[in-house]
Chain A
Amino acid sequence: MIPSDTEQSRLLVHAYSDGELDPINALEIERRIAADPRLAVEYRQVETFKQLLRERLPREELPHGLQARIEAAVGMNAPSQPSWRSLAASIAVTAMVASGATWVVRGPEADDAIRDGVVAGHTRSLMASQPVDVISSDQHTVKPWFNGRIPESPRVVDLSKHDFPLVGGRIDVIGRKPVPTLVYRHRSHLISLTAVPTPSPALPSHLADGYNVLRWTDDGVSYWAISDLSLPELTTFEQLFRSNAPDQ
């Protein structure tokens, strides 16, 4: 069992807040937090502090031209397309989860910023060596992976029997906030499903940047679907996602 002195308990409160403790030690720390007001304060402060950093610290943008200078410095020519990009350049679905009040984004310009961020995140993932940080077709592996990395793990639905198997998950950054993204596969297409906790009014479907954009609302949750698929195919994905309950 873990040592019981105060300093060690403080360290473990931080590790607990970061999701780094195994269940036995997590239970023990939960018990100590409940019993010791000083540890309870420490825990609340750590949580508040981490939220503050997520929300207030400006994200560092890569300086314009730096990547080009690096490519020149190592003697590379014009960038070529990653080989699997043609396979994956396909469909991005974004779920706007309206329930979480942790991150508040307001106004139409915020919606635009989120849409830009989602498209950028999807595009960036297509340029990366792999589209996910955790590779697993098991929702019970993917969902816990998000715990400790972000405040709210996303709704995970098993659609494998409908030919939408889960590929894995990753963390994207929308604005300055880390958000969970699930990646599904449909035939040769990858689907990025990003959950952004924000109040978002239902808006009509429209075309954006050459993608079809589909929006719907379920149980106080607004969803965005962005895809180069036809509207009927995208609608199929929408219907599947809405009609299959998450298995937790």
Chain B
Amino acid sequence: MAKDADEARFRNVVLPHLEEAYTLARWITRNRGDADDVVQEASVRAFRAIRSFSGGNARAWVLTIVRNTAYTWLKKNRSPVLVQVEDFEAIEHAQALAGNPEVETPESLLIAENDAVRLEAAISALPDPFRETLILRDVQGLDYREIASITGVPIGTVMSRLARGRSRLIADLRGKEQ
């Protein structure tokens, strides 16, 4: 029966990646209750589309659906928060220019590291494109090519978002300890 085959496929392709799906949804929506809804909705979408999965990278396929579902879900259920990416980049750039190699040691970052709450808050404050890229790479361990495919941008953009997002977080974590 076709439904049995679909179910078997869904079990093999989607279910093994639920936890990662939830992690990505949690960080895109910045809310665990929302993430729960998003993962459930994305799973239903994935089930309907399971025959279009042509093999290959199941994890990237699932995460792509989760990501798109999350943004659609946010648009529908949340009032949009405008993010000024240009401002963000200007601030980040200024911070980079002000950098002083004599003072900026990794050790100063280590002092600030013991507060997971602050770390989560700093990540949550990143604009969407930077946050999702950082989560996919530094939390979920995907490579640049996979991230480019999931987020629908060139690899160069992935590289730039990652570097900027990290620099911003490093600056945040260092700045608040003083």
Contact B7 A41 (CB under 8 A): no
Residue of B nearest to A52 (CB): B113
Kindly provide the distance from the CB of A42 to the nearest chain B CB, expressed in whole angstroms. Answer: 8
Chain B at the A interface: SS class = helix
Contact A14 B166 (CB under 8 A): yes
Contacts of A53 in B (CB 8 A): 119, 138-139
A201 at the interface (CB under 8 A from B): no
B interface residues, how many (CB within 8 angstroms): 52
CA gap between A122 and B26 in the complex, in Å: 25
A20 at the interface (CB under 8 A from B): yes
Residue of A nearest to B107 (CB): A48
Contact A128 B141 (CB under 8 A): no
A interface residues, how many (CB within 8 angstroms): 51
Q: How many A-B residue pairs have CB under 8 A?
A: 130
Return the contact of B43 from the options A15, A41, A70 (Cβ within 8 A).
A70
Contacts of A63 in B (CB 8 A): 22, 32, 36
A204 at the interface (CB under 8 A from B): no
Chain A at the B interface: SS class = helix
Kindly provide the distance from the CB of B74 to the nearest chain A CB, expressed in whole angstroms. Answer: 18
Kindly provide the distance from the CB of B143 to the nearest chain A CB, expressed in whole angstroms. Answer: 7
Contact A73 B44 (CB under 8 A): yes
Contacts of A20 in B (CB 8 A): 143-144, 159
B177 at the interface (CB under 8 A from A): no
Return the contact of B12 from the options A55, A66, A129, A149 (Cβ within 8 A).
A129
Contact B7 A57 (CB under 8 A): no
B80 at the interface (CB under 8 A from A): no
> Known contacts A41-B99, A41-B105; is A127 also within 8 Å of B114 by CB?
no
